[in-house]
A = this chain, B = another copy of it.
């Protein structure tokens, strides 16, 4: 494993519909302290910038909410047009709290199916890129075509996690590295086989990038990570977990909600 690594903000300026993300990232990297993109570097791209460049922006005044959208909008106090976009973008709505629907999309849980109107023009929302792995693959191919260098590319989002306050990074699209590394058969400090053997390398990289991207007007939609020693490969996509194998879902979904308030008794 590497002894140290560095994380560089790539200041591309505002990304607009139709922009060539790879071109902007290459230029920003030239201007950054990393002095350009090198073989083995990992590029992390904010999903909102990728989706905007890909023309995913939806004008809410052009959205006609369905009855189902109106019902959920009323129930969870969400704008009906936004709710309609969320329904279109999600594989399934599993619940909600005021202001947010909890949705399943591409095998992961996320609020409002990722249809975000932070960092989107007024009266619009920007859903996630249609195929974040393909987006990552396109940028990786474009950077290789331009510079002849082999990189890993992640499309990342900023999300909360169960019973954690505040957002951290998650990888939603991947090309050129293993987003989840399986260490089965590796041994711990005492030579025992590891129990928990899967490392969410993509999510760890995403969180490292979030520290420079921020959520606000920093205009840092891309980050370059150099020196982790993470091996690049031709892997593509992000392995997911079944709800039945997920400790949180497997247990929490069947737990007594009272167990989470002051009144609950052990399971």
* Residues of chain A whose beta carbon lies under 8 Å from any beta carbon of chain B: 1-9, 11, 14, 32-34, 68, 72, 87, 92-97, 100-102, 104, 107-109, 111, 117-122, 158, 160-170, 180-181, 183, 186-192, 194-201, 203-208, 210-212, 214-220, 228, 230, 238-241, 243-257, 259-261, 264, 266-267
Contacts and interface: CB of A to CB of B under 8 A. Distances in A.
Contact of A207 (B203, B214, B246, B266): B203
Given A97-B250, A102-B251, A107-B163, 8 more contacts: A1-B220, A95-B255, A109-B252, A163-B246, A165-B198, A183-B214, A183-B215, A253-B255
Contact of A163 (B121, B196, B248): B248
Contacts of A261: 243-244
A68 B266 CA distance: 10
A119 B1 contact: no
In the complex, the count of this chain's copies comes to: 2
A240 B260 CA distance: 13
25 contacts: A1-B218, A2-B9, A3-B212, A68-B266, A95-B250, A97-B245, A102-B255, A107-B163, A118-B188, A119-B190, A160-B200, A161-B161, A161-B164, A162-B249, A163-B241, A164-B241, A165-B238, A166-B198, A188-B216, A189-B217, A191-B217, A206-B207, A207-B208, A208-B208, A211-B230
Given A168-B203, A212-B2, A215-B196, A243 B163 contact: yes
A239 B164 CA distance: 9
B163 A240 contact: yes
A96 to B, nearest CB: 5
Nearest to A163: B109
Contacts of A214: 1, 183, 199
Contacts of A187: 216-217
A264 B208 contact: no
A164 B111 CA distance: 14
A252 B259 CA distance: 13
